[in-house]
């Protein structure tokens, strides 16, 4: 099953055996490469032993200090480092795909430092946060420029988009946003759709579902709590909008979602 999420991902494994599939193409996660995936890229993953068996029911946990990569490998398990992040508009509008980059000595050193910080099981300090940002920047700068879909956008529409991001959990009308842009409602609505490709209310719903997906991936909140936090009337309304956007209902998404 293919899933997408509204944030960037970086993947790196020291042990072979995990594979990412996108548009029929396979990308192996290995020690020699690091993978970066733009937001809203629909892909699937498989995890299996080098003997060829696949784990249908995958159970993950945090790697601990007492773990050894050798022991993990002999047990048919696979290590997995993942980083989720957002760049914001317009840099989150990148061409979908799986981008595998060579893991040079500099990137490998950063990965080892970040892994060590994760093993310590403490809140990241300033230097550790800077190393994560350095790794992210190194990956982004290594991607071909062709993936970027950056375009100029009218400052009034940009202001309206910022207003939506800050107030998505509240009821936002076209009139309210048009006033923010200092425009007539009809003129604003036309310009908004031309600039974003979506109507105002479609964009607001999309923003809510993106936040909901983030909460599903990164919190332990229930579907009812997520629906409330994202400004939906109730779980039924949330499920209806979520399925229209993600093609599956939220309970299925959460049940089949592997933290990665």
- Homologous superfamily (CATH) of 155-255 is Homeodomain-like (1.10.10.60)
d(CA 96, CA 4): 10
B/e letters for 70-95, b = 16+ CB within 10 Å, e = fewer, are eeebeeebbbbbebbeeeeeeebbbe
What is the band of 192 on the pLDDT scale with cuts at 50, 70, 90? Answer: very high
* Secondary structure class of 84 (helix, strand, coil): strand
pLDDT of residue 201: 94
First to last CA, the chain: 14
pLDDT of residue 101: 94
Q: Is this model's pTM higher than 0.75 or not?
A: yes
Does 260 score more than 70 pLDDT?
no
Domain ranges of the chain: 8-147, 155-255
* Secondary structure class of 50 (helix, strand, coil): coil
Pick the CATH number of 8-147 from 2.60.120, 1.10.3680, 3.40.50, 1.10.287: 2.60.120
């Amino acid at each position: 099953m293919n899933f997408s999420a509204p944030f960037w991902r970086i993947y790196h494994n020291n042990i072979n055996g995990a594979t990412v599939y996108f548009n029929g193409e396979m990308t192996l996660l290995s020690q020699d490469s690091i993978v970066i995936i733009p937001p809203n890229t629909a892909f699937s993953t498989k995890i299996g032993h080098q003997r060829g068996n696949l784990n249908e029911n995958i159970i993950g946990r945090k790697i601990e200090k007492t773990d050894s990569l050798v022991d993990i490998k002999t047990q048919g398990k696979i290590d997995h480092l993942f980083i989720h992040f957002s760049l914001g508009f317009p840099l989150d509008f990148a061409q979908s795909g799986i981008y595998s980059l060579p893991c040079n000595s500099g990137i490998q050193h950063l990965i080892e430092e970040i892994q060590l910080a994760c093993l310590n099981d403490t809140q990241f300090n300033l230097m550790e946060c800077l190393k994560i940002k350095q790794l992210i920047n190194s990956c982004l700068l290594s991607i071909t420029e062709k993936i970027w879909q950056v375009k100029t956008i009218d400052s009034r529409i940009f202001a309206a988009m910022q207003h939506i991001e800050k107030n998505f959990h509240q009821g936002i009308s076209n009139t309210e946003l048009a006033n923010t842009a200092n425009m007539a409602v009809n003129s604003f609505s036309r310009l908004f759709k031309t600039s974003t490709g979506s109507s105002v209310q479609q964009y607001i719903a999309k923003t809510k579902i993106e936040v909901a997906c983030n909460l599903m991936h990164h919190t332990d909140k229930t579907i009812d709590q997520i629906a409330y936090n994202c400004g939906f009337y109730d779980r039924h309304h949330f499920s209806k909008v979520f399925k229209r956007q993600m093609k599956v209902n939220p309970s299925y998404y959460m049940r089949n979602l592997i933290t990665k």
